[in-house]
Chains A and B, each alone.
Chain A
Amino acid sequence: MDFIIQGLSLLFVPKVLLILAISCVYGLFVGAMPGLTATMAAALLIPFTFFMDPVPALASIVAMSAMAIFAGDIPAALVRIPGTPSSAAYTQDSFELTKQGQGEMVLGVDVVFSVIGGLIGAIILMVSAPLLAEVAMTFTTFEFFWLAALGLSATVMVSRGSQVKGALAMILGLFLSTIGVDITLGFPRFTFGSVELLNGVNFIPAMIGLFGLSEVIRNVMEPHIAYPIAKVRAGKIFYGMTALVKKYKLNITRSSLLGTFIGILPGAGADIAAWLAYAVSKRGSKEPEKYGTGSIEAIVDAGTANNACLAGAWVPAMVFGIPGDSITAIVIGVLFMKGLRPGPMIFERSPEMVYAVYFSFILANLLMIPFGYLAIKTSAQMLRVPKKILMPAILMFCMVGSFAINNSLFDVGMMLVMGIIGFFLEANGFPVAPVVLGLVLGPILEKNFMMSMIKTEWDFLPFFYRPVSAILCTLTIIIWFFPFLAAFLERAKKKNQV
Chain B
Amino acid sequence: MEKNDWIAGGIFIALGIGIFILTIPFPSLDKGHPGPALFPNILAALFIFFGLLLGLKAKKPSVDKPLENSTAAASIPKNIGNAFFILGIIAAFMVLESWLGFLLTSFFLLFLLMKKLGTSAWKSLTLSVLVTVFVYFLFYKILRVPLSPGFLSW
Contacts and interface: CB of A to CB of B under 8 A. Distances in A.
A164 B6 CA distance: 13
A96 interface: no
A464 interface: no
Given A175-B19, A185-B27, A409-B98, A427 B90 contact: no
Nearest to A88: B68
A254 to B, nearest CB: 23
Contact of B110 (A161, A392, A413): A392
Output the residue of A220, A416, A431, A449 with the most chain B CB within 10 A: A220
Interface in A397-446: 397, 399-400, 403-404, 407, 409, 412-413, 415-416, 420, 423, 426-431, 445-446
Contact of A427 (B73, B109, B128): B73
Contacts of B65: 160-161
Contacts, number: 187
Interface stretch (A165-173, A234-242, A301-309): A165-173
A175 B83 contact: no
A185 B36 contact: yes
B146 interface: yes
A48 B120 CA distance: 32
A222 B77 CA distance: 7
Contacts of B79: 220-223
* Number of chain B interface residues as a range: 35 or more
Output the residue of A164, A178, A386 with the most chain B CB within 10 A: A164
A388 B119 contact: yes
A243 interface: no
A407 B73 contact: no
A388 B80 CA distance: 15
Contact of A396 (B87, B110, B118): B110
Nearest to A402: B90
18 contacts: A88-B69, A160-B67, A160-B68, A164-B50, A175-B43, A190-B22, A217-B83, A221-B72, A389-B119, A392-B128, A396-B106, A396-B135, A397-B135, A400-B106, A400-B135, A426-B70, A431-B67, A454-B29
Of all A-B residue pairs in the complex, the 4 with the closest CB atoms, nearest first, are A388-B117, A182-B36, A220-B82, A392-B113
